[in-house]
């Protein structure tokens, strides 16, 4: 029997569109089974984050241990980690349980601008977790922050080759696969940078794997305010597709299509950045 169990190590979003709540919906929508270890609680809605309560890492570790003792997951997916201490705890737990399939969404800053990982913890994320990662899913700002202080020069993204360069620099830091999400730098139809909102027609995500070959995943740009939790949902869908034993390139392709369709059919909840449609 396929082991379709996934452990999510992430923060909770009270509005249900991002974080653990989104991950569980996505994983359920893919027919897989989600378990959770909570790193932080947030008081938030579609307009922003009011407060964050970081869970002591010793307690999150107890949740991880309880899960592994009973239902060892086939994949671990991480979201908001929230502190350097939680990152250290997680790297030790991943090593203790010899986790080979880690989907790491390097959550750092929310769409609304709220800081979800202190800047000083980025070094720990890079040095302790990237070497243990199977698929890393940064957006462009996260990719740049991960490369800052790593000794790599980071420039602006003007063309798809710039996204590929970011992916190669990040893969050199340890992950087996890197998906750089291009949503923050939409292109014109011809693949050159859009210089005005009207020119935004195409989003290109680039996936780089162990062979060194790059897969470009193109999606039409969808102009929507309902993008809350897009990153969480994409990484959770990749984790679910991997648990269902899809090849990595197929798992990522299918996850990108799932999120794009979810944005197109978003229910329109909330006064701010609303959630996508997770069940379609
Ligand atoms: N809250 C939590 C707990 C999250 O994990 C995330 C993203 O990963 C967010 C909020 C931010 O979501 P978004 O930037 O998509 O609005």
Tens of pLDDT, residues 205-235: 999 999 999 999 999 999 999 999 999 999 9
Quick one: pLDDT band at residue 190, thresholds 50, 70, 90? confident
Q: Please work out whether the CB of residue 42 comes within 6 Å of at least one atom of ligand 1.
A: yes
> Is the Cβ–Cβ distance between 122 and 57 less than 8 Å?
no
Q: Whose CA is nearest to atom 2 of ligand 1?
A: 19
- Mean residue pLDDT across the chain: 96
- How far does residue 61's CA lie from ligand 1's centre (Å)? 22
| 23-39 average pLDDT score | 98
Residue 204 scores a pLDDT above 80:
yes
Nearest to 97 by CA among 131, 121, 80, 74: 74
pTM over 0.90: yes
Give me the pLDDT at residue 59, please. 99
Q: Whose CA is nearest to atom 12 of ligand 1?
A: 229
Cβ–ligand 1 contact at 55 (below 6 Å)? no
Give 42 Cα–ligand 1 centroid separation in angstroms: 9
Kindly report the protein residue whose alpha carbon is nearest to atom 11 of ligand 1: 110
Is pLDDT above 90 for 151? no
83 lines ligand 1 (CB under 6 A): no
- Whether the per-residue pLDDT at 155 is higher than 90: the answer is no
Percent of the chain surpassing pLDDT 90: 90
- Per-residue confidence (pLDDT) for residue 247, from 0 to 100: 98
| pLDDT classification of 153: cutoffs 50, 70, 90 | confident
What pLDDT shows up at residue 1?
67
CA distances from 109 to 79, 81, 82, 154 (A): 11, 12, 10, 19
Provide the 3-class DSSP secondary structure of residue 221. Answer: coil
The predicted-structure confidence for 49-92, as pLDDT tens digits, reads as follows: 999 999 999 999 999 999 999 999 999 999 999 999 999 999 99
The fraction of the chain above a pLDDT of 70, given in percent, is 100
The yes-or-no verdict on residue 28 having pLDDT over 80 is yes
User: Rg of the chain over CA atoms, in angstroms?
Assistant: 17
With cut-offs at 50, 70 and 90, classify the pLDDT of residue 93.
very high
Ligand 1 site, residue 273, Cβ cutoff 6 A: yes
Residue 192: its H or E element: none
Ligand 1 probe mutation, 8, 12, 19, 109, most atoms within 8 A of CB: 19
Residue 232 CA to ligand 1 centre (angstroms)? 7
Question: Mean per-residue pLDDT for 175-204?
Answer: 92
Which protein residue's CA is at the shortest distance from atom 16 of ligand 1? 228
As a whole number, mean pLDDT of residues 186-197 equals 88
Give catalytic residue positions: 181, 227, 229-232
Q: How far apart are CA 274 and CA 127, in angstroms?
A: 34
Domains defined for the chain, CATH in brackets: 5-264 (3.40.1190.20)
Q: Return the ligand 1 atom nearest residue 12 CA.
A: 3
On the question of pLDDT at 161 being above 80, the answer is yes
Q: Report d(CA 130, CA 174) in Å as an integer.
A: 5
């Amino acid at each position: 029997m396929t082991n379709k169990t996934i452990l999510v190590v992430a923060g909770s979003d009270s509005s249900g569109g991002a974080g653990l709540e989104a991950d569980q919906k996505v994983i359920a929508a893919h027919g897989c089974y989600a378990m959770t270890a909570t790193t932080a609680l947030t008081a938030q809605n579609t307009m922003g984050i009011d407060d964050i309560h970081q869970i002591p890492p010793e307690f999150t570790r107890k949740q991880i241990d309880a899960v592994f003792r009973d239902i060892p997951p086939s994949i671990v997916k991480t979201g908001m980690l929230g502190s350097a201490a939680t990152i250290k705890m997680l790297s030790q737990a991943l090593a203790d349980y010899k986790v080979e399939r880690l989907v790491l969404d390097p959550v750092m800053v929310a769409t609304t601008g709220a800081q979800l990982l202190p800047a000083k913890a980025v070094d720990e994320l890079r040095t302790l977790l990237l070497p243990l990662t199977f698929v890393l899913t940064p957006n462009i700002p996260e990719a740049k922050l991960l490369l800052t202080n790593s000794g790599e020069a980071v420039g602006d993204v003007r063309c798809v080759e710039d996204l590929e360069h970011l992916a190669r620099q990040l893969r050199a830091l340890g992950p087996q696969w890197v998906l750089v999400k291009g949503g923050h730098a939409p292109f014109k139809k011809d693949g050159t940078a859009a210089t005005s909102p009207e020119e935004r027609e195409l989003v290109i995500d680039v996936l780089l794997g162990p062979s060194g070959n790059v897969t470009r995943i193109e999606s039409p740009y969808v102009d929507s305010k309902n993008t809350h939790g897009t990153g969480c949902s994409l990484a959770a869908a990749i984790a679910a597709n991997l648990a269902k034993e899809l090849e990595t390139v197929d798992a990522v392709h299918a996850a990108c299509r799932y999120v794009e369709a979810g944005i197109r059919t978003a229910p329109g909840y909330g006064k701010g950045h609303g959630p996508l449609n997770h069940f379609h």
